[in-house]
Amino acid sequence: MDADPFDNPTCKITEGVESFQGEKRKLIQPTSLKDPKLEKLKEALVDWINRTLKPEHIVVQSLEEDLYDGLVLHHLLSRLAGVHLGVDEIALTTSAQIQKLEVILEELNKRLGLQDSSVIKWNVKLIHNKDLLATIHLLVAMVKHFQAELNLPLNVKVEVVVVEVSRSGIKSEVQTEVLTEDSGAGSDSSANSEKEDPIEQLLKLEAHKVNTVKKAILHFVNQYMSTIGLQVADVDKQFADGVMLLLLIGQLEGFFIPLFDFNLTPVNESEMLHNVTLALDLLNDVGLKLPNIDPQDIVSQDVAATLKVLYALFKKHSSK
């Protein structure tokens, strides 16, 4: 339909439209920008990026402002796919940033198996122009491909205005854009149930069943801790300061963690947090990805977070 969507408070959308004359562009409606589901998706993607790039000390705060120059995408590609491209680490000029993005997106699209440009919802121009919609589509595709186990918020949709600017005026129509699918999309309910975190499933069961699994994990832990004269009696509490967790990881992975790297007798929450963060970083380094675990949750004795870490170790090493 032909309409002018800018006769109302959504007139902010007109900003920058003229630069896309002759093209079609999708612009998120301002009302959708305030949607809690979209906010949660953005937070999840920022958290995923920061966890992935933590070893490289890269911190992202804004999807729009921090990805347009290619630096973050370059490091994500390197960490997730082991790809090292011959591009400048930091591109300061617009032309250098665009050139860098061209190389990165070409490789990313190849890795994502996207040869047909008509189905790709992002391009160099959109990413460099800080287009939130294109940036989210790209990041969601990367998560699905490289870390399918990461549970992004489901069924996130936004209202967009599809704008085409020409010399004769502006043509537009409102559409619904799907950012993440419903849990039932493309698979049956049983398949999706299998994708749910096993610990989340466990904690929905009766208490005696939860305790049975805890005992099995506890037995596994003490098999390894007993070799250094230690024993864990309380799974819920004894890992909160990070010491037992670090020692367990050292035993399981066969390496010694220097005492000066962590606090053997932590006296405050800051020291505990340092220990737990180090433990999760070590697990990430040995290929055990735990993207949804916050170190603070373990320090706070969050049962689900603690069990997820121990279960991941149990699953990896119990069959050895």
Final residue belonging to a domain, choices 141, 168, 188 = 188
Q: Distance between CA 276 and CA 257 in Å, rounded? A: 13
State whether 120 and 258 are in the same domain: no
- Are residues 291 and 220 part of one domain? yes
Claim to verify: residue 203 and residue 184 sit in the same structural domain: no
Query: DSSP labels for 286-320?
Result: TT---TT--HHHHHTT-HHHHHHHHHHHHHHHTT-
In a shared domain, residues 119 and 209: no
CA distance 139 to 197: 21
Separation CA 166–CA 170 (nearest Å): 6
Print the domain residue range for 246: 197-317
- Check whether residue 32 and residue 172 sit in a common domain: yes
User: Domain count of the chain?
Assistant: 2
Distance of alpha carbon 314 from alpha carbon 199, whole angstroms: 12
What the block records as the tokens of 42 is: 């953005």
Q: What is the CATH number of the domain that holds 244?
A: 1.10.418.10
Predicted TM-score (pTM) of this structure: 0.55
**Is 248 found in the same domain as 184?**
no
The amino acid occupying position 24 is K
Please report, in tens digits, the pLDDT of each residue of the chain (320 residues total).
Answer: 444 444 444 444 444 445 555 567 788 888 888 888 999 999 999 999 998 898 888 899 999 899 999 999 999 998 888 888 888 778 788 888 999 999 999 999 988 888 677 778 999 999 999 999 999 999 999 998 888 778 888 889 988 888 776 666 567 788 888 998 875 544 443 334 344 566 666 666 667 767 777 888 888 899 889 888 999 988 888 999 999 999 999 889 888 888 888 899 999 999 999 999 999 988 888 888 776 788 888 999 888 888 888 888 888 876 55
